[in-house]
Amino acid sequence: MTTTAAPSAPVCPRCHKVPPLCVCTGIVPLDNRIGVLIIQHPQEQDVDLGTAHLTALHFRNAAVRVGLSWPSLAKALGRPADPKHWGTLYLGSVKPASLLPGQDVIALTRKGAAHPDQRGQLAGLEGVILLDGTWSQAKALWWRNPWLIKTTRIVLGPHRPSRYGKLRREARREAISTLEATALLLSKLENRPEIADALHAGFDKLLDRYREREKATRTSVG
């Protein structure tokens, strides 16, 4: 008998969660004008609280790709696309608080400064790319996909702490889940607050289920 790995529980084919954490039933995909591409680092291990698939299920125009590198945006998407018309959310070592006070979504120059033409950079975006993983995994994805540099780099301004609360310890205050980042980004870029509301409702359900399961585990153990 092997003790190296627990038998993998069957996961939901849509949200990739085990049954106690599956909250995807009843999600009605939103008609999003700006496409969403989530690139997930292959070693992203947060099977319980990861949000890549749950996020994508909320949109008609969204995809999750798992892997380290693609030769082009078109190959990652599986359809023709010009990276010049896409944006990539990548924080790196930028400190958003020092860029543009009061701004939620900030377009950067290649040197990591606030772009002088915010409106022009953000207005024509056809899609946004999110790098799903830890801070260092996102950094690896950024460097392993040089075509990302052709996209408009975006960071999110200082915002309230993640809904994860104490469930997850993030190294930086700016770190929020892929779902929360997408909620902020798309609701601002499309000027539709209901996008954020729908995503947050899904996320809150996941966190509730997670806490319930943790409580049940503790009760049954001791």
Residue type, 15: C
The residue (of 15 and 184) whose beta carbon lies closer to Zn ion is 15
Q: Which residue has the tokens 């049940």?
A: 216
| 11 is a contact residue toward Zn ion (CB under 5 A) | no
Residues 62, 14: Cα–Cα separation, whole Å: 13
**Smallest gap, in angstroms, from Cβ of residue 63 to Zn ion?**
17
With CB atoms as reference, the residue minimizing the distance to Zn ion is 12
User: Which residues ranging from 20 to 39 are in contact with Zn ion (CB under 5 A)?
Assistant: 22, 24
Give the start-end residues of each E strand in 123-221: 127-132, 152-156
**Smallest gap, in angstroms, from Cβ of residue 11 to Zn ion?**
8
User: Which residues ranging from 149 to 178 are in contact with Zn ion (CB under 5 A)?
Assistant: none
Q: What's the CA angle centered on 94, arms 112 and 52, to 5 degrees?
A: 105
Quick one: which of 132, 118, 214, 119 has its CA closest to 166? Answer: 214
Give the range of 10-18, 108-116, 161-169, 191-199 binding Zn ion by CB under 5 A. Answer: 10-18
**Smallest gap, in angstroms, from Cβ of residue 209 to Zn ion?**
11
Give the range of 6-14, 105-113, 182-190, 198-206 binding Zn ion by CB under 5 A. Answer: 6-14
Residues 15, 18: Cα–Cα separation, whole Å: 9
Give the range of 5-13, 33-41, 62-70, 151-159 binding Zn ion by CB under 5 A. Answer: 5-13
| 205 is a contact residue toward Zn ion (CB under 5 A) | no
Length of the chain as a residue count: 222
Beta bridge partners of 131: 39
Site residues (vs Zn ion, CB under 5 A): 12, 14-15, 22, 24
